[in-house]
Structure 1
Amino acid sequence: MKKLMPFIILVLFSVVVQAQKHTPLPHGMVYGQKPDTMVMMQASKLEDFMGKKTRITTAIEGKVISVTQEKGGWFEMDAGNGRIISAHFYNAGISIPKALAGRTVIISGIAAKQFIADDMQHLAGDTVTGKKQHKVKTDPKRVVTFEVKGLMVDK
């Protein structure tokens, strides 16, 4: 009996650990604040919706391509036409699982357009033909960044 009790505890502990590692992300699981789905749009329409605005507060639905960093909630979302939305949580204390990759999610927060430095050189005192002109390489696929306040697993 003395040898049987530690064996039973070990078996129960290993079952609990295995169950925690392989739990699927259920529909409706929320990280951060729950997004408002009433004003939601598709991620592929975000850039057109923004128009000339540089920042907007909105909720979008899209597919997570990859989780780049679990701590802080850094991930990439498909924006259609080969474009990518780089997203991260406003609250750096939130961690998201790698299993989120490939899932459709709804996120809410602030979307901001990225600009190439040459577009704003006149503000820095340089002209388009000035000798201080610098070329900054940016990825044309990453046009919008998203500061996430809440994420909900949809599909």
Structure 2
Amino acid sequence: MKNLLIIGLILGASFGAVAQTSASYHGKKISDKGALPATQLAAKMDGKDKMPAKVEGTVESVCKMKGCWMNVKTGDGQVMRVSFKDYGFFVPKDIVGKTVVMEGVAETTTTPISELRHYAQDAGKSKEEIEKITEPEKALTFVADGVVVKN
């Protein structure tokens, strides 16, 4: 009986440890340590057009078709579009609200109207919402080599 109790405690502790550290890795396997909060990325770029970075943030939306892009909150109601290097990997489509760490290159880009409409379609927007997109968008974007989705 005493042995059963000890085994039960060990199993319970091991399940607890697994639950606390579980994460999923996509693309190049990276560490989640040392990431800059997404809310600080724009200030860190300080006028640079492009910069290598490791960033942590909260997922605001994901491509509903394949998980081929995601938007990460950067603060003040803004988001940063994240794509994946060489279209080489995707993220799960059910990670909205989860914390991610991504490593790659941050860049200030101008997204053309056609691409913005494509993203809106992927996000499941209505035809009316898509047709309201009439201006290109200059924004902070990120091309990730690897992504950790924290659970």
* TM-score, structure 1 as length reference: 0.62
2:139 corresponding residue in structure 1? 143
Partners in 1 of 2:66 and 2:76 — Cα distance? 29
By how many angstroms is 1:95 displaced?
2.5
- Cα 1:63–1:37 change in 2 (3 A) is same
Gaps of 5+ in 1: 1-25, 118-135
Gaps of 5+ in 2: 1-20, 113-133
- Cα 1:108–1:116 change in 2 (3 A) is closer
- Cα 1:31–1:70 change in 2 (3 A) is farther
1:83 corresponding residue in structure 2? 78
Partners in 1 of 2:81 and 2:65 — Cα distance? 14
- Cα 1:37–1:96 change in 2 (3 A) is closer
Partners in 1 of 2:40 and 2:86 — Cα distance? 26
Identity level (%): 26
By how many angstroms is 1:115 displaced?
4.7
Residues 82-115 of structure 1: per-residue CA shift (max 9 Å, x gap): 1110011003131222111110010010100125
1:110 corresponding residue in structure 2? 105
Please say if 1:100 is aligned against 2:95. yes
Aligned residues: 110
Partners in 2 of 1:95 and 1:115 — Cα distance? 23
Higher helix share: 2
1:133 corresponding residue in structure 2? none
Secondary structure of the residue aligned to 1:145 is strand
- Cα 1:70–1:60 change in 2 (3 A) is farther
Please say if 1:153 is aligned against 2:149. yes
Partners in 2 of 1:30 and 1:47 — Cα distance? 25
2:68 corresponding residue in structure 1? 73
* TM-score, structure 2 as length reference: 0.63
The structure that has the greater radius of gyration is: 1
Aligned ranges 1:1-155 → 2 under 5 Å: 27-69=22-64, 71=66, 73-115=68-110, 137-139=135-137, 143-155=139-151
By how many angstroms is 1:148 displaced?
0.8
CA RMSD of superposed structures (Å): 2.5
Residues 34-86 of structure 1: per-residue CA shift (max 9 Å, x gap): 23444410000000000011000110000001112553621111001111100
